[in-house]
Every structure is written in C-alpha cells, then in structure tokens.
C-alpha cells in the first residue's frame, strides 16, 4: 500500500513519472501492462513507470480523480501534466511522455 507521503516522494522527480492506476479484476488493465513494458524498454531511464492498485489505494485514486481503470497520470517535477483513461498504444504513450 502506498501512502500519500511516499507517493509524493516518488512523483517529485525530475524524471517524468507515469502512474498506472489499475485493478486486478480489470481486463483493459491487463492489456495495458505489456504496452507499458514496451514503453519502458524504449525510453529506459527517461521515464519511471509506477503501478498503483486502486482497490488498495483508494484515497490516492480519489485524490487524482481516478474514476475508471486503467487511468494513466503523467507527473513532471511532482506536477500532474497529463491524465488519460483507457488503453493507449505504445507510440501514443511515448509521444505524450516526450512532449509534455
């Protein structure tokens, strides 16, 4: 379980942090997992990818207004710069990370 303080220390980074809010029972979340792995393989140290289980971290999900899963939120220097629900393809996610 991630609390708000250690989550803040994770996202408060010069490296962009892509947070994947997911649930174990969510089919699209399972489809997104290998796509995020490909994003990480392509970008390497240019991005941190963090997975947050919404069922175990409801206050955190509520704080970022996650109403559906999967929802990805991109942070730069601790600030939310982009948020999107649903499954995106690798190229779209890479483009967002590089342009935001």
Mean pLDDT throughout 10-39? 97
**Tokens 């483009």 belong to which residue?**
95
Q: Is 29 part of the annotated catalytic residue set?
A: yes
CATH number reported for the structural domain that contains residue 64 in this entry: 3.40.30.10
**What's the pTM value of the predicted model, to 2 decimals?**
0.95
- Contact (Cβ atoms closer than 8 angstroms) between residue 35 and residue 3: no
Provide the domain limits for residue 59: 4-99
Candidates 10, 23, 26, 49; catalytic one: 26
pLDDT at position 49: 97
Q: Quick one: residue 78, left, alpha or beta (phi over 0 = left, psi -120 to 50 = alpha)?
A: left
Candidates 18, 29, 39, 43; catalytic one: 29
Write the CB contacts of 77 (distance below 8 Å, at least 6 apart in sequence).
12, 13, 14
Q: How many domains does the chain have?
A: 1
38-88, pLDDT tens digit by residue? Answer: 999 999 999 999 999 999 999 999 999 999 999 999 999 999 999 999 999
Q: What is the CA radius of gyration of the chain?
A: 12
């Amino acid at each position: 379980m991630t609390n708000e303080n250690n989550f803040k220390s994770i996202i408060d980074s010069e490296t962009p942090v892509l947070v994947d809010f997911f649930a174990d029972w969510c089919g699209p979340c399972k489809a997104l997992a290998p796509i995020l792995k490909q994003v990480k393989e392509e970008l390497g140290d240019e991005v941190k990818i963090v997975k947050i289980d919404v069922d175990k971290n409801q206050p955190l999900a509520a704080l970022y207004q996650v109403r559906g899963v999967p929802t990805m939120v991109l942070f730069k220097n601790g600030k939310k710069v982009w948020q999107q629900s649903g499954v995106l393809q690798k190229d779209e996610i890479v483009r967002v990370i590089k342009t935001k």
